[in-house]
Amino acid sequence: MTGGGLRTEQLIATLRTAKHSVIPVIEAAAVPSEAAGDWRTFGEGELAAVLRDIKPQIIVLEQWALASRLGDPADGGAPDVPLVIDLHGSLLLENVYRRGTTDLTLDGKTKLEALRRADLLVTPAPAQIHHFASWATLAGFDARELPLALLPLATTRVAKARSSKKPALKMVYGGARWPWIDSLLWLETAAGVAQSHKGARLDVFTYDPPRHGLPFEEDLGTWPDVDAALKGRTRKGVKLHGKTEHADFVDFLESEATVALDLWEPNPERMLASTTRTVEFLAAGLPVITTRGASWSEELVQAGAGWTVASGDHAELTALLEDLVAHPERIAEASRAALALASSRADLASSGAALLAFADTPSRPPRAPRSVVEAIVHVRQTHLDETLRSLEGAHRDEHATIVASHKAETAELRDRHGEEVEQLRAAHQAEVAELRADADARMEKATKRHDEQSETLLAHQQEVLERADAQHREVAARQEALMEEATASHRSEVTRIGAERRAEMEEVRERHQEELRALRSSAQEEVAALQDRLDAALAEASSLAEATRLRTEELALKQKLELEELRLRLEGLVAERQSELDGVRETLAERDQALRVMTEARDELKGRWTSDRAQDKEARTKLEVELRAEMTAREQQQRTQAAAELEALRAELTGQLEAMGARKVVRLADSVQGALRGEGEGPRVPGAGVAARILGETGRIVPAARLAKLWTEHALDREHD
C-alpha cells in the first residue's frame, strides 16, 4: 500500500460518496493481489480501447504519466470527455531521484503535453498549487484562469479517543523506502532516546517500493544504512518490523504507538509533498513530529496535533522526546488534537468538493494552441530561419562578386601570359623527353645488372637448397633402414616365441592324454570287476527282485563313472585353455614391450628428423632474408646513384640555360610561384592573389588555380626556348 494507492482509494471513495459510478482501471502488470473484482485492466497499447468500451462521462487519472496513452480521439484514442488529473506529488522530481537527470527533458515535455490535455488539475496541498501553477502556465493555460483546485488528503477511518492520560513514549515510523527520503540520522537519534529511557520504544515499519512487475529497479538511498544502524539495537527498545500488511500496520498505530515520526532531510520533493502516512497517523490518534517548513508542519502546529524540529537539529529532537517522556500528558493532549484534525477531514464530500463540483458540471478551460515552451521554440526557430535566409543572401552576393572578380583577373592573366606559357610548355616537354630517354637508358642498364646479379644469387641459393635437400633425403633413408631392421627383428622374435609356446602346449596336451588313458583303463577294470560281481549275483539270486536291484546298482555305477570321466576331461580342457591363455598373454606382453621399444626409437628418429628439418628451414629462411636484403641494398644504391646522376645532369642543363640568357624566364617563374604562395617581394602577377585565396579557403584547386599552378611548374623547370 503506497501513498499513490491510498490517494487513489480516496478519489474512488469521494466519487462514490456522491453516488457516482466509478470503474477503476489499472495496468495489468501492476494489479495487486487484493484488487477488487470490479477493477478493469489493460495491457500495452490497450488503455484507449478499454476506455472506449467503458464509455465514461469523465476520466480521472492518478498522476499525469498515463495521459500520453489516451491517444487522439480522432484516430481511435480514448473518448473525448472531460479529463481530471490528480497531481498527488511531483512525479518529475521523484523520477530525478530515481534515474538522475537522464530523462529530465523528455519527462518535462511529456508532462507539459499531459497537463495540456487536462480540464481540471487537483493537488493535495496548498504549496503544490503554486508549484503546479507554473507548469500549467507553461502548458498553455491562461495564468489568470488556471484549472487548479485543492483536494486535501483525507480518510474516513478515524480511531476512537485514547483512554490513557499519561501514555509512554512509543514512537513509530512507517512507509516505503523511497530513494528521496533520508531519515537515517533522525531514526538514530530517536533510537538513542528509546534506549536511554525505560518503557520508551521505537518501531520502524518500512518496505521496498513495489515493482508490480514493471521493468525497473529502485535505488534504496540510505535505507541499507538505516538497517545497519538499527539492527544491533533490537533488544534495547528498537524493533525493525519490515514489510507488514497494511491492516496490521493500522492496528498497530491505533493500539500500540503513541507518537509518530515523519522526519527526513529536506529536499525539493519532500518539502513539496503532502504525505499520506501523516493522514494515517492523525486518524490513529498519533501526534506527528515532522520537519519544520514541510507542507503539513504549519497545520499540525496550529491544531496542536504535533511538533516540528528544525532541519538538521538532532539535539532539538532529543530535547523534545525527553520532554515528552517527562511530561506524557503532552502526548495525550496532542493525541486528542490529532483525532480532531483527522475528523475535520473525514467528510469526503467536503474535502473533495472541487472534484465533485466538476463531476456535476464539467467544463473545458481556455488554453493556447501550443504550450509556452513550444511557442518560445517556434519564435526562436522563426528568428533562426530569418537569420539563415539573410546570411544565405549575403553569401550569395559575396560569392557572385568574388566569382566576377576572379573571372576578370583570370582573363587578364590568360591574355598576358598565354604565349609565354606555350613557349615554356614546348621547351619543358622537349627537356622532359630528353631526360626521360636518358633516364630510361640508365634504368635499363641498372635493371640489366640487377637481373644478372639476381640470377647469380638465385643460382647460388638453389645450389645451397639442393645440397640441404640431399642431406635431408640421406638422413630420411637412414631412418627408414633403421625402422625396417627393427621391424624384421621384431617379427623373427615373435615367430620364435610362438614356436616355443606351441611346443610347450603340445607337451602339455600329451601329458593330459596319457592321464586320461590311465583313468579310462582303471575305470574299465572297475567296470569288469563289477560285471563279474553282477554275474555272480545273478547266478546266486533266487528271485527277480534281487536281479533288479543289482541291475539298478550297475546302471548307477556306470553313470557315476561316465560323469567322473567327463569331469576329468573338462578339467583337462580348462587347464589346457588356461595354459594357452597364459602363453598368449605373455606373448602379447613381450610384443607390447617390443612395440614400445620400437615406438620410442621411431619417435627419437622422428624428433631428430623434425629438428634437422626445422634447422634446414631456418637456414633457408635466413639465407632468403640475407639475399633479399642484399638485393634491396644494391637496388637502393643503384636508384640513389641514378638520381644523383639525373640531378647532376639537371644542374648542368640549368647552368647552360643561365649562360644562354634565360635569367628573365627564371625571374618570371619565381615571381609567379611566389605570388601564388603569398611569398617574396617580386613583381605582382595579376590574378595570383585570387588564385592563392581560393587555394587557402577551399583546400582544393579550382580550374583557374590549376592553370596558374601549371604555369608555375613550367617556370620552375628553368627552361628557355
- Which position has the higher pLDDT, 1 or 284? 284
Range of the domain at 695: 663-716
465 in a structural domain: yes
Asked whether residue 354 is domain-assigned, the answer is no
Tell me if 12 is assigned to some domain.
yes
Q: How confident is the model at residue 213 (pLDDT cuts 50, 70, 90)?
A: low
**How far is 158 from 131, CA to CA, in rounded Å?**
30
pLDDT at 677 over 60: no
Q: Are residues 670 and 646 in the same domain?
A: no
Residue keyed to cell 591363455: 581
Q: Mark whether 711 and 566 lie in a shared domain.
A: no
Look at residue 336 in the predicted model and tell me its pLDDT: 95
Weakest mean pLDDT among 202-211, 460-469, 639-648? 639-648
- Please list the residues that pair with 596 across neighbouring strands: none
Q: Is residue 124 scored above 70 in pLDDT?
A: yes
Give percent above pLDDT 90 in the chain. Answer: 24
The pLDDT-based confidence of 658 (bands split at 50, 70, 90) is low
Q: Which amino acid is at 541?
A: A
Q: Which residue has the higher pLDDT, 368 or 304?
A: 304
CA distances from 73 to 363, 370, 439, 712 (A): 18, 18, 85, 74
φ/ψ of residue 114, rounded to 5: -70, -45
| Rounded Cα–Cα distance for residues 228 and 220 (Å) | 13
Give a yes or no: residue 458 inside a domain: yes
Question: Rounded to whole angstroms, what are the CA distances from 603 to 233, 276, 564, 590?
Answer: 76, 87, 57, 20
pLDDT at residue 720, as a whole number: 45
Q: Are residues 559 and 669 in the same domain?
A: no
Q: Please write the tens of the pLDDT for every residue from 266-290.
A: 988 888 888 888 999 999 999 999 9
Mark whether 583 and 701 lie in a shared domain. no
| DSSP letters spanning 635-688 | HHHHHHHHHHHHHHHHHHHHHHHHHTT-HHHHHHHHHHHHHHHT-S-SPPPTTH
Q: Same structural domain for residues 578 and 669?
A: no
Residue at a domain's end among 346, 363, 398: 346
What are the grid coordinates assigned to 584, written together? 598368449
Q: Residue 453 pLDDT more than 80?
A: no
Residues 566 and 701 in one domain: no
Residues 689 and 675 sit within 8 Å (Cβ to Cβ): yes
Number of domains in the chain: 4
Is residue 112 a contact partner of residue 135, using CB atoms and an 8 Å limit?
A: yes
- Mean pLDDT for 470-498 is 73
- Cell 515532522 belongs to 290
Q: Which helix (H) or strand (E) holds 26?
A: strand 25-27
- Residue 559 included in any domain: yes
Give the model's pLDDT for residue 273: 87
- The pLDDT of residue 537 is 58
681 and 647 share one domain: no
Nearest CA-CA partner of 7 in 62, 64, 59, 65: 62
Rounded distance between C-alpha atoms, residue 63 and residue 69, angstroms:
13
Residue 561 lies in a domain: yes
Q: Which of 247, 240, 111, 270 is nearest to 178 (CA)?
A: 270
pLDDT of residue 136 exceeding 70, the answer is: yes
In-domain check, residue 711: yes
pLDDT band at 313 (very low <50, low <70, confident <90, very high): very high
Least confident of 42-46, 380-384, 555-559: 555-559
Q: Tell me which residue of 138, 151, 128, 120 sits closest to 365, measured CA to CA.
A: 120
The verdict on 653 and 670 lying in the same domain is no
In this structure, are 312 and 275 located in the same domain? yes
**Confidence category of residue 148, pLDDT binned at 50, 70, 90:** very high
Report how far residue 47's alpha carbon sits from residue 599's, in angstroms, rounded to the nearest whole number.
81
pLDDT score for 689 = 45
Point out the domain boundary residue: 297, 330, 346. Answer: 346
**Among 329, 346, 363, which residue terminates a domain?**
346
Cβ density class 144-170: b for 16+ within 10 Å, e for less: eebbbbebbbbbeebbeebeeeebbbb
- pLDDT over 50 at 697, yes or no: no
H-assigned helices in 66-125: 91-99, 104-117
- pLDDT for 19: 93
- Contacts (Cβ under 8 Å, ≥6 apart) of 639: 446
Q: What is the pLDDT of residue 707?
A: 60
274: domain CATH number is 3.40.50.2000
Residue 51 lies in a domain: yes
As a whole number, the mean pLDDT across the chain is 79
pLDDT reading at 309 higher than 70: yes
Indicate whether 203 pLDDT > 90: yes
Report pLDDT digits (tens) over 584-631.
Answer: 677 777 777 877 877 777 777 777 777 777 776 777 778 767 777 777
Name the least confident of 526-530, 542-546, 564-568. Answer: 542-546
Mean pLDDT check: name the lowest of 126-140, 424-438, 621-635, 707-721: 707-721
Q: Which residue has the higher pLDDT, 530 or 702?
A: 530
Cell of 286: 498519533
**Percent of residues, the chain, with pLDDT higher than 70:** 78
pLDDT tens across 382-439, in order?
Answer: 888 888 888 888 888 888 888 888 888 888 777 777 777 677 778 878 877 887 788 7
Q: Which long-range contacts (CB under 8 A, 24 or more apart) does 302-309 make?
A: 303/337, 303/338, 303/340, 303/341, 304/333, 304/334, 304/337, 305/334, 305/337, 305/338, 305/340, 305/341, 306/334, 306/338, 307/334, 309/263
Q: Are residues 84 and 232 in the same domain?
A: no
d(CA 347, CA 336): 18
Confidence (pLDDT) at 250: 92
Specify the pLDDT at position 692. 42
DSSP state of 597: H
Per residue in 215-272, pLDDT (tens digit) is 666 677 888 899 888 887 767 789 999 888 888 999 999 999 999 999 999 988 888 8
- pLDDT > 70? residue 34: no
Question: Which amino acid belongs to residue 161?
Answer: A
**572 shares a domain with 655:** yes
The answer to whether residues 140 and 101 belong to one domain is: yes
Q: Can you tell me the mean pLDDT for 40-55?
A: 91
Average pLDDT over residues 698-707: 51
This prediction has a pTM of 0.53
Q: At 684, which amino acid appears?
A: R
Tell me what pLDDT residue 39 has: 84
Which has the closest alpha carbon to 150: 340, 358, 364, 339?
A: 358
- Pick the most confident of 2-11, 307-316, 372-381, 405-414: 307-316
Per-residue model confidence (pLDDT) at position 486:
64
Q: Please tell me the predicted confidence (pLDDT) of residue 310.
A: 95
Q: How far apart are CA 668 and CA 19, in angstroms?
A: 105
Please tell me which of 365-369, 475-479, 609-613 the model is most confident about, judged by mean pLDDT.
Answer: 365-369
